[in-house]
Structure 1
Amino acid sequence: MEIKKSLFDNLQNFFGFDNFKGEQEAIITNILAGNDTFVIMPTGGGKSMCYQLPALMTEGTAIVISPLIALMKNQVDQLRAFCNSDSVAHFLNSSLTKSETARVKEDVLAGKTKLLYVAPESLTKQDNIDFLRLNKLSFVAVDEAHCISEWGHDFRPEYRKIRQVISNLGENIPIIALTATATPKVQHDIQKNLQMNNATVYKSSFNRANLYYEVRAKRNVLKEIIKFIKQNAGKSGIVYCLSRKKVEEVAEALNLNGIKALPYHAGLDAKVRAETQDKFLMEEVEVIVATIAFGMGIDKPDVRYVIHHDVPKSMEGYYQETGRAGRDGGEGVCVSFYSEKDVDKLQKFMKDKPVSEREIGTQILKEVIDYAESSVCRRKQILHYFGEDYDASSCNSMCDNCASQRQFFDGEAQLHRALSLIKQLGEKFDDHHVVSVLMGQDGPQVHHYDHHSLSVFGSGKEDGENLWKSLLRQALLDNFLSKDIDQYGLLRLTDKGHDFLENPYSIRFVLNKPIEAADDDDTEEGPKQGSGALDTQLLQMLKDLRKKIAKQKNVPPFVVFQDPSLEEMCTHYPVSTDELKQISGVGAGKASKFGAPFIELIKKYVEDNDIDRPVDMVIKSAANKSALKVYIIQNIDRHLDLEDIAASKGLNYEEILREVESIVNSGTKLNLNYYIDEVIDEDKQDEVYDYFRSAEVDSIDDALVDLGVNDYTREEIQLMRIKFMSELGN
């Protein structure tokens, strides 16, 4: 009773809380008793309190091993604020100067420091080991303990050395291992490696009831993301991408479309990263676009959505990243975009890795693919991955699968056939092999084992591959089968599976709805010709307006706006100058010269017809394209030959003409007379110029036919068309 009172008194004194969360009290009591303790608790469950409070209550210094410098600093700052003392907590890592390191060691030796955070790389240095041996250590806490296991999503070889170092620090030092994501396999690896098989294990449920999970086919992904964010304006969110390049591109696109966003990845300066974190915490920016490095140690409770632009590398990573949404128990929407192209990229990354690492990576990625392609409750799949059984009826439509209409089938006969085959094969093959046999697919492995001669070979062809994949996935989720991940994902029958073979019964399964073929094309160079979304009524009205304005200005209609630009207006309905500038082939010059009547017409048309406009606009060219255009404009102003400008940028003549034409068509005036006078006779120039003045279309092919193929080259016509458009249209 006295210990319990002391616990609550200290909880109130140090942290200002009246009650513990979940199993915190039992965990802390176990640590205070000097026992090895293993804590598996989801993100936001209060893991850090489990070692911080006992460290403050125990004689000596607790060592906290953490791989994340940002997390260390964050927690040290919080502890100093709670305890009103700068000496109570320190971190020891490569970011400290010599004088700062000396100050830390001085405080620890003086007994002032209750928690010392150490990076695993720093812990293994001999001078640090010698120093720590001089102190009384209360216990060692190993945070992010999944880093020990090759099956964990963030394996770090230096974590393998922790047990040896702890043994060198002294005898009988209690160990506390903590992780937010650990499959049964990873849990076993952690306990085995840290030699804590007798540890008391505390495992909280991995269910985050407030999170909504959704997987979407990856088509026009940037537009989808922009639309989602604008529909959730004023809320904080994170967008995860696999590469630094993609992070920069997405962040730029969001800002172009009026969304305050910043990029975050390991390639940025540490000061910039720290400032970015602070701006996100202080809500100076709405969205962080990041690689998986972001979010660890960032305690922002009100992140309202997490978007995966690319397929996550593992279910652990996916769980941890989505877990950064709704940590306050409020709304948390998790949207992942999935395409087979992403999977192919990840598989290519693994090709150069050692065989064992490649096999592990393939197994881990396969779980992600199964999750994305399955129509079963997302929550049930996530929790099963972490060794937790879950009744899908409790999901309450908090995932896209449970919220949608699904197709079920009675699978008694098929399940019996699949389990019988797995048993017949000696439980020595994975799901891919089992499906191949049932479908009658005589591949190299099936042939090698002579399985094409089995009576069951091809017996499931009529049911279709999708049904068998759906069935085996759910047989795993419902514990008829287990997967031996140590042995390449071989399928084994459980007791429940054996019982079903003896006494089959009626059972229903969900049929997977395959994700439609997705296009990973983020940018659109122009409107899709003949798109079904094209508003033909508006297009005719815009063409009539163009004709009227062309007549007033005494120019051909194509000088005002070209057809592709008008078609794009009929898809996106721009109702302001800024929006019109986003239409390909318009630009600032043309928008200001010709745009006003077009905007008025579109605005009235949208109001009269009650049209629900897309909230996002076409994403304009990336920074590198903009830089090329600026370079070309500057060098034309300096009267450099086009061939020289092209050569300096590795372009050929055809490509430089195309770039120059694009600049002019977007409304920028270019004076190319200095160059045209050098390469085309004056008489020829006049003839082509007069031709385009009276032409109804700006086709080069038509011009060549009318003017004479033998008299002009295609490039000469194109150059004169550029001059004509620049002088009359801009």
Structure 2
Amino acid sequence: MTSTTSSITQLLKTHFGYDSFKPNQEAIINDVLSGKDTLAIMPTGGGKSLCYQLPALAKEGTALVISPLIALMKDQVDALRANGITAAYYNSSQPEEEQQHVLQQLTKGELSLFYVAPESLPNLRHTISTITLNLIAVDEAHCISAWGHDFRPAYTKLGSLKQEFPQIPIIALTATADKATQDDISKQLNISHAKKHLASFDRQNLFLDVRPGQSRIKQILKFLGPRGAQSGIIYCLSRKSTEKLAQKLKQAGYKAKAYHAGLSPEDRANIQEDFVNDTTPIIVATIAFGMGIDKSNVRWVIHYNMPKNIEGYYQEIGRAGRDGLKAHTLLFYSYADVIQLRRFTEGTATEEFQLAKLERMQHYAEALSCRRKALLNYFGEHLTKDCGYCDVCQNPPKYVDGTVIAQKVCSAVARVKEQEGVTMIVDVLRGAKNAQVFDKGYQHIKTYGAINNVSWNDLQQYIIQLINLGVLEVYFHENGRLVLTPLAKAILFEGQNIQLAHTEDVKALKDAKTTKVTKNDSLFEQLRNKRSAIAAEKNVPAYIIFSDASLKDMIKKQPTTIKAFADISGVGKAKLESYAEPFIDVIKTYKAQQKPKVDTYQQTLQLYTQGMPVEDISKERDLSLNTIYSHLLKLHLEDKLSLNLNEFVTDEELSKVKTASKTLNHPEGLKPYYLHFEETIPYWKLKFALTMLEDQEK
């Protein structure tokens, strides 16, 4: 098969049921197809697997996929087989008979993809050398690097693959790798000239939320209240904590189980299976849980304790919302967690390095500016605007002009030749008279004592904010030294201004809003039940049949024919043939049971066009004024009613809303405006005003 764009897109639709690629996928696939070694850094849920699965189908021969966990391999193979693709895995847990059958398939050229753990690979080198290999994929490639957060010694032996198969393209994939880890992966795999694809780390569907660590169980129960039977994971530092919290949740009426390394392999496998199949929606676990699970409908992740580094945190929150639908991530932060994590690193070979990463995690938890900016800056990606979808953006602290402070901090970093960490920079700027400063002669530089009127803690917090904002970067692999970014140079030399949160707000982390939870409608539950029944019959996880995103698309389109069902996202040829009819039956039954609804907007329209005042319509229909005005605006926007919006909003009110929009940095929703005006302008009037402002901008 040729590697043209049209043929790859056709394979995507035929086997996986998608009409288009996610960002970066097509470029990565084309590089692999052209025989180039490739390093792909893509966020969880970004579609890494397709980057080697599609080339494997497009090229003659078999793709060798090196994967770290048995559960992960099984999951991938189950998903591929459900899509009509021949794939198998080989590992030490299989009976010898099964192993031999898989090897026979491999040598006969019957497999498009062959999965193996790095530990099993040495025993299979001879067999692999006899087959037609089309590519080698190294999944979870950060495991090869001592700089990575999941270092695995067996991965370090993979460097010989390039020497043994010099003509075969190697693609290394990971979701979590900072700059040092990326360089180390290329070096260890002997693919130093690999084409690097760094996809955006921004998972826009994840709400980022950090809260103080007091009364955690009480806060968790309140958080879970409106979420019904949604799937979620709670991560704890200790086995004891998982057991205790799972028990508390069960006492409160939730289906929850603890998962940790102290359980027997059989118990762990059963708990994981119950979670995957939606039998147990809540798992309280140590970080050992989740890496091998591709469950797409996890709607929330809670960190009961602060993780030890941002890579681990990012990977764990990445287990939520893999279907692209909205999900909530909640981190509890307390200094007691920091102390405990510091103890864990004492005496380790990489103690200094781990402590630097822990400190950066602490910076994130204490962030007073957009939390998504802080997270993405860590991975070298810089947002220009606040995200509007994190706790800080939705409940911002007071900001002050921090340009002068930023200039002085950046100047100090430059004058110590970017060789020092946060502590030394604070000491230099405050004019500290200690041996560390004097021994290096820093008392003679121009910025020594330049900020001696700010307390040590406050100045440290300002520098942390500058790191989170992407003004400064921390080089962990070089003793945590601070380095200036292009934004720092803009502040120093180009008149760039910067806002910093007032340090008084550091002492009172605010309780964030929770995202609004929409209850599942009955059709979703019926489709979900059908999915569960088919999954149990096939002995595969429910999301292997269809993701929640596919079910939501079914609700939106409600197909009642095979042809219409083929347009559902995630429905390829194999799934269309296997599952279309039972799901169409559910949709047909649901539609037949629905009583025609009286159009509430039409009722409002009839009364309004008859000349009835809005206040009277509100009383007549027993609906609030806000609701009636919302009806009128919707009818106006749909050209079913012609309104002069200026009759509802005065020029003065419109001007106030316009000014507020700039002051609040164009927030999402109406509530920030409502609170800004101290509840003096009703919601409906705000909605009218914002519509008018949008029209003016067009």
Larger Rg over CA atoms: 1
**Is the contact made by 1:416 and 1:504 (CA closer than 8 Å) also made in structure 2?**
no
State TM-score, norm by structure 1.
0.66
Task: Quickly say closer, same or farther: Cα 1:508–1:81, change in 2 above 3 A.
Answer: closer
Q: Indicate how the Cα distance of structure 1 residues 131 and 221 shifts in structure 2: closer, same or farther if over 3 A, else same.
A: same
Paired position in structure 1 for 2:568? none
C-alpha separation in 2, matches of 1:220 and 1:475: 31
Mark the CA change 1:495 to 1:57 in structure 2 (over 3 Å): closer, same or farther: closer
Counterpart of 1:484 in structure 2: which amino acid? Y
Which residue of structure 2 lines up, in the alignment, with residue 4 of structure 1?
5
3-state DSSP of counterpart to 1:151: coil
Aligned: 1:293 with 2:288: yes
Does residue 380 of the first structure (1) align with residue 373 of the second (2)?
yes
Whether the 8 Å contact between 2:309 and 2:357 is mirrored in structure 1 is yes
CA distances 1:381-432 after superposition (whole Å, capped 9, x unpaired)? 1111111110233x12x11111113122222332232233333333321111
Match of 2:147 in 1: 151
Q: TM-score, normalised by structure 2?
A: 0.68
Q: CA deviation at 1:239?
A: 0.3
Over 3 Å counting, the alpha-carbon distance change for 1:515 and 1:302 in structure 2 is: farther
State whether residues 373 and 469 of structure 2, in contact with CA within 8 Å, keep that contact through their aligned partners in structure 1: no
Instruction: Identify the residue that residue 480 of structure 2 maps to in structure 1.
Output: 489
Q: State the Cα distance separating 1:147 from its structure 2 match.
A: 1.4
Q: CA deviation at 1:450?
A: 5.4
Q: 1:580 maps to what in 2? A: none
CA offsets per residue over residues 416-456 of structure 1, 9 Å max, x none? 32233333333321111111233355455335445567785
Q: Structure 2: which amino acid aligns with 1:139?
A: L
Q: Distance in 1 between matches of 2:6 and 2:446?
A: 70
Amino acid at match of 1:374: A
Closer/same/farther in 2, CA of residues 454 and 62 from structure 1, 3 Å limit: closer
Q: Are positions 1:241 and 2:244 aligned together?
A: no
Aligned twin of 2:279 = 284
Q: Which residue of structure 2 lines up, in the alignment, with residue 119 of structure 1?
A: 117
Instruction: Tell me, in whole angstroms, the C-alpha distance in 2 between the residues paired with 1:15 and 1:499.
Output: 45
Equivalent residue number for residue 340 of structure 2 = 345
Alignment check: 8 A CA contact 1:244 1:291 kept: yes
Q: Distance in 1 between matches of 2:265 and 2:410?
A: 54
* Shift, 1:379, TM fit: 0.2
1:468 aligned to 2:469?
no
Deviation at 1:73, TM superposition (A): 0.6
Q: How far off its partner does 1:505 sit?
A: 5.7
Q: For residues 509 and 462 of structure 2, what CA distance do their matches in structure 1 show?
A: 22
* Amino acid across the alignment from 1:105: L
SS in 1 for 2:237: coil
Q: 1:250 to 1:6 in 2, by over 3 A?
A: same
Structure 1: runs of 5 or more not aligned = 519-730
> Out of 363, 368, 382, which is 1:389 matched to?
382
Instruction: Verify the 8 A CA contact 2:369 2:396 in the aligned structure 1.
Output: no
1:245-273 deviation digits (Å, cap 9, x = unpaired): 22122111211221110112233233322
Equivalence for 1:103: 101
2:364 pairs with one of 357, 371, 387: 371
1:546-604 C-alpha deviation (Å, 9 max, x unpaired): xxxxxxxxxxxxxxxxxxxxxxxxxxxxxxxxxxxxxxxxxxxxxxxxxxxxxxxxxxx
Change (3 A) 1:417 1:256: same
Residues 488-534 of structure 1: CA distance to partner in whole angstroms, max 9, x if unpaired?
Answer: 1112334554564456565322234325599xxxxxxxxxxxxxxxx
Query: How far apart are residue 108 of structure 1 and its match?
Result: 0.8
Instruction: Supply the distance in 2 between the matched residues of 1:504 and 1:375 (Cα, whole angstroms).
Output: 23
- AA of the residue aligned to 1:425: V
Mean Cα displacement is larger for which, 270-279 or 471-480?
A: 471-480
Contact 2:239-2:286 within 8 A present in 1 as well: yes
Match of 1:330 in 2: 325
Q: Distance in 1 between matches of 2:280 and 2:490?
A: 57
Inter-CA distance 457–403: structure 2 relative to 1 (3 Å threshold) = same
Return 457-466 or 209-218, whichever deviates more: 457-466
- 1:624-663 maps to which residues of 2 (within 5 A)? none
CA contact (8 A) 1:470 1:510 kept: no
- Higher RCO structure (Cα 8 Å, ≥6 apart): 2
- Of stretches 420-429 and 473-482 in structure 1, the one that deviates more from structure 2 is 473-482
Q: CA deviation at 1:36?
A: 1.4
Greater mean alpha carbon deviation, residues 365-374 or residues 217-226: 217-226
Instruction: Measure, in 2, the Cα distance between the counterparts of 1:227 and 1:500.
Output: 43
Helix, strand or coil: the match of 1:298?
coil
Residues 466, 511 of structure 1: 8 Å contact kept: no
For 1:228, which of 223, 228, 231 is the aligned residue? 223
Change (3 A) 1:197 1:259: same
Structure 1 letter corresponding to 2:158: I
Query: Equivalent residue for 2:46?
Result: 45
2:83 equivalent to 1:82: yes
What SS is found at the alignment partner of 1:275? Answer: helix
**SS of alignment partner, residue 482 of structure 1:** strand
Q: 1:199 to 1:440 in 2, by over 3 A?
A: same
Q: What aligned pairs does 1:128-527 form with structure 2 within 5 A after superposition?
A: 128-168=124-164, 170-354=165-349, 357-393=350-386, 395-396=387-388, 398-443=389-434, 445-446=436-437, 448-449=439-440, 451=442, 458-494=449-485, 497-498=488-489, 500-502=491-493, 504=495, 506-512=497-503, 513-515=505-507
Structure 1 residue 457: Cα displacement:
5.0
User: Letter of the aligned partner of 1:268 in structure 2?
Assistant: L
Identical pairs, percent: 42
**Residue 234 of structure 2 aligns to a residue in which SS?**
strand
Mind listing any 5+ residue stretches in structure 2 that lack a counterpart?
Answer: 511-698
Separation in structure 1 between the aligned mates of residue 424 and residue 141 of structure 2, nearest angstrom: 34
Q: Deviations over 1:283-336 (max 9, x none)?
A: 222311111222223233222211000111111111111112222222211110
Change in CA separation of 1:406 and 1:96 when aligned onto 2, cut-off 3 Å: same
Amino acid in structure 2 at the alignment position of 1:120: P
Letter in 1 for 2:210: V
Matched residues, number: 508
Distance in 1 (alpha carbons) for counterparts of 2:494 and 2:232: 50
**Distance in 2 between the 1:2 and 1:94 partners?**
35
Contact 1:312 1:368 survives alignment (8 Å): yes
Structure-to-structure mapping, 1:13-92, within 5 angstroms:
13-83=14-84, 88-92=86-90
Which stretch has the larger CA shift, 490-499 or 129-138? 490-499
- SS state at 1:463 partner: coil
Question: Distance in 2 between the 1:299 and 1:317 partners?
Answer: 17
Question: Separation in 1 of the partners of 2:368 and 2:393?
Answer: 8
Mapped contact 1:139–1:175 kept (Cα < 8 A): yes
Instruction: Give the match's secondary structure for 1:288.
Output: strand
The answer to whether the 8 A contact 2:207-2:328 is kept is yes
Distance (Å, rounded) in 2 between the aligned partners of 1:2 and 1:132: 24
